[in-house]
Amino acid sequence: MNISETIKNKQFINSLWMMSEKIIAIFGMLFVTSYVARYIGVEAFGQLALAIALFQIVQVIAQMGSDNIIFKRFTQNITSGLRLISATLLQRVLIYLLLSLPILLWQIYTFTPLGFCFFISIFFASLFSTLDVYSIYFNATLQSRFNTLANSAGLLAVFFSRYLIVWFALSPFWLSISIMLTSFIPLLLRLHRTRTLRASLGTSTRQQKKYGRYLFMTGFSLVISAVSVAIYGRISQLMLAIMAGSKAVGLFAVASSLATSWTFVTAALITSSFTTIFQSKSEAVALMATARLQRLIFAVSLFFVLLLSLMSYPLLKLLYGEAYLEGWPIIILLAVASFFSASGPVAYRYIIRLSGYRFLTRKSSLLLCTSVPISAITIYFWGIYGAAVSTIFIEILGLTLLNYRFSHGVIWTMHKKSIKYRNY
């Protein structure tokens, strides 16, 4: 077996482990979230979904677009990647806490005691996720097996804690523990596994400042892009909260979680494949590899969208109960949107390979500005259905027309090559 085949086999095995990791994460999210949703009702769950959306935006800002920067650095130099993580840890924590404070103060006066308890648990769960960037190390070095094991441990802890709460008929306030354990346990395990590597780095104060400046300068463009993506990806929920109330947000959040539950498969394939694409010295080879990957993502996405369209009603009834069945048609519409959103990371990472950071900033900012009036108009006339329709339109626009402006239409070329099979 030659080196190329060995690398491909490692990528395939790593993809399987990454899929296993995401299956476990999605499995835990669906069952833990559905249990909470049944327990607290549609309107209260809508408030919780809004809190999740807000802290996810805070988390994106705190990470300073570091996910893709660190991943790319790991594929080129593992030691440098580890130093980049270590040197910028405090920076991410401070940004997260600073941005979270006004949201926490606002929620004290708007949420019920139970809602605020869940809100605090979301705050800590997102904080742990912000710190848990060492998962990138295991993915980039094709060691996703450990990520799967770490997340499995977290999921087991969640189920065990939930079982104890039900068995002893404890107050629903204790359910917040399950939310936090989902991300806290994997973080501890990854920190323990990398302790020797981190201890051997010996990063000086000068190096910390150097890496901090690098992440800020390089990540500044990406963070604007990432924040814009995070906002326009959740603009429908934010608009629904303003124009339609918490119940609509709850129904939309449940439909969205089910409609996108399969995208861990495409995410795993994309992450593993780009390890080689980032390392490729030939732009022609990288473009061909990206086009083949895009074709695969299209095929996988179509399969899952069709499957989900058939299974959405019984799945929604099983997991969330009768109170949420009103949102069943929304799942199908959002599944269509997920077909296009699943392909977005392919173009996004290829643009990063070509160092198109400024383009991503301009594109995502333009998409955000476009999504606000589209969402407002469609939600005003069609309510929750308008939110789903606007999501479809925004995802199509972000994947195609706005990307085609980059580098003389290289993304358009890649999409054409992904469709024309005879080119390979």
The secondary structure of 311-337, three-state, reads HHHHHHHHHHCHHHHHHHHHHHHHHHH
Say what percent of the chain tops pLDDT 70.
84
Note whether 99 and 61 are within 8 A (CB). Answer: yes
User: How many of the other CB atoms lie within 10 Å of CB of 309?
Assistant: 15
pLDDT of 423: 46
pLDDT at 280 over 80: yes
pLDDT of 219: 63
221-255: burial string, b at 16+ Cβ within 10 Å, e else: bbbbbbbbbbbbbbbbbbbbbeebebbbbbbbbbb
Backbone angles phi and psi of 245, in degrees to 5: 95, 175
How far is residue 57's CA from residue 54's CA, in Å, rounded to a whole number?
Answer: 5
Confidence class of residue 288 from pLDDT cuts 50, 70 and 90? very high
pLDDT at 80 over 50: yes
Say what percent of the chain tops pLDDT 90.
25
**What domain range is 102 assigned to?**
3-423
Least confident of 54-63, 163-172, 238-247, 332-341: 163-172
Q: How many domains does the chain have?
A: 1
Alpha helices (H) along 88-245: 89-108, 113-131, 134-140, 144-167, 175-193, 195-199, 205-243
Q: In sequence order, which residues have a C-beta less than 8 Å from that of residue 75 and are 6 or more positions away?
A: 140, 275, 278, 279
How far is residue 333's CA from residue 224's CA, in Å, rounded to a whole number?
Answer: 28
How many angstroms from the chain centroid is the CA of residue 296? 20
pLDDT of 275: 73
pTM above 0.85, yes or no: no
Nearest CA-CA partner of 29 in 337, 186, 257, 188:
257
- Mean pLDDT taken over the chain: 82
User: Is the CA virtual torsion 176, 177, 179, 180 positive or negative?
Assistant: positive
pLDDT of 12: 66
Confidence class of residue 388 from pLDDT cuts 50, 70 and 90? very high
pLDDT at 101 over 80: yes
Helix axis angle for 283-320 and 328-341, nearest 10°, is 170
Question: Tell me: the pLDDT tens digits for 166-197?
Answer: 677 777 788 888 888 888 999 999 998 888 87
Confidence class of residue 79 from pLDDT cuts 50, 70 and 90? confident
pLDDT at 422 over 60: no
How far is residue 275's CA from residue 258's CA, in Å, rounded to a whole number?
Answer: 29
pLDDT of 21: 62
Note whether 40 and 321 are within 8 A (CB). Answer: no
Question: Tell me: the pLDDT tens digits for 394-419?
Answer: 999 999 999 999 988 999 999 999 98
Element holding 417 (H helix, E strand): helix 410-419
Question: Tell me: the pLDDT tens digits for 109-150?
Answer: 766 777 788 788 889 999 998 888 888 888 777 777 888 888
Nearest CA-CA partner of 186 in 71, 24, 66:
24
How far is residue 357's CA from residue 218's CA, in Å, rounded to a whole number?
Answer: 8
Note whether 424 and 288 are within 8 A (CB). Answer: yes
Least confident of 1-5, 238-242, 345-349, 371-375: 1-5
Q: How much is the average pLDDT of 365-383?
A: 90
pLDDT of 110: 67
pLDDT of 15: 64
Report which of residues 11 and 3 the model is more confident about: 11
Note whether 259 and 337 are within 8 A (CB). Answer: yes
Confidence class of residue 424 from pLDDT cuts 50, 70 and 90? very low
Give burial (CB, 10 Å; 0-12/13-18/19+) of 181.
buried
pLDDT of 342: 92
How far is residue 334's CA from residue 288's CA, in Å, rounded to a whole number?
Answer: 30
